[in-house]
Amino acid sequence: MTAKTPSIVYWLGDNLYLNITNQCPNMCYFCLRNFKDGVGGFNLKIKREPTVDEVISEIQNTINMRHWKEIVFCGFGEPLTRLDCVLEVSRRIRQNYGKIIAIRVDTNGQGYLLNRGRRVVEELKEAGVDRVSVSLNAHDKATYMEVCRPRFENAYESILEFIEKAKRILDVEVTALSIPEVDLDKVAEIAASMGVKFRIRQYIPGFW
């Protein structure tokens, strides 16, 4: 049963997740928020975006619950629509807790389109982010346009650019959902050719 009160912070296993926005430049047909209000009993449909102080307060309330493996920016939106929030929260985590917890950003990889003129990858690294997980979700541009329905015409090219830049200074993982339109072997080849890790996310119709 999903809670009625929306959550800024939630957890799955040993990872602590930060749900800082519901904004996203994509309208993916498979997106979980099309079917559910949240995951793991948590409601992720926030009514407003939390401030940095509110995010930090929620982290402080949950940080001692268990030994977290990672703190992950991942919710019902694209975290890099709020790049400055990601950066400041990451800096505060590093100030308060040092390097004992890894920080990851789960992203659709359109950070440079969302933050034009910014040094997105370098800024993430400087703020203390360790790794990024990039949802590529397609083996070519035509498929990406079909299944992810991005707002930006050059979204797919920008994602590949983001991966290239990120792999130089961050730990990068590329993921794709196991949906019929996507050739997972080709996505794996793209990841291998770029020298980054690849992971398949299982698709459960009407759930994921």
Residue 206 has pLDDT above 90, yes or no: no
Q: How far is CA 130 from CA 72, 139, 170, 201, in A?
A: 10, 26, 6, 21
Residue 22 has pLDDT above 80, yes or no: yes
- Describe the crossing of helices 83-97 and 52-62 by its angle, rounded to 10 degrees: 40
The mean per-residue pLDDT over the stretch 25-36 comes to 92
Q: Categorize the per-residue pLDDT at 205 as very low, low, confident or very high, splitting at 50, 70 and 90.
A: low
Backbone angles phi, psi at 148, to 5 degrees: -100, -20
Give pLDDT, residue 106: 98
Give pLDDT, residue 2: 74
Q: Which domains does the chain have, with CATH numbers?
A: 9-201 (3.20.20.70)
Residue 207 has pLDDT above 50, yes or no: no
What contacts 24+ positions apart, CB below 8 Å, involve 183-186? 183/139, 183/143, 184/139, 186/139, 186/140
- 98 contact partners, CB below 8 Å, separation of at least 6: none
**Residue pLDDT, tens place only, 76-101:** 999 999 999 999 999 999 999 998 89
State the burial class of residue 207 (Cβ atoms within 10 Å of its Cβ: 0-12, 13-18, 19+): exposed
CB atoms within 10 A of CB 134: 25
The strand ranges marked E within the chain are: 9-12, 15-18, 38-39, 42-43, 70-73, 102-107, 131-135, 171-177, 197-201
Give pLDDT, residue 208: 41
Q: Do the Cβ atoms of 44 and 73 come closer than 8 Å?
A: no
Min mean pLDDT across 5-9, 11-15, 30-34 is at 30-34
Mean pLDDT rounded to a whole number for the chain: 95
Nearest to 133, CA basis, from 17, 10, 14, 28:
17
**Residue pLDDT, tens place only, 170-197:** 999 999 999 999 999 999 999 999 999 9
The mean per-residue pLDDT over the stretch 162-175 comes to 98
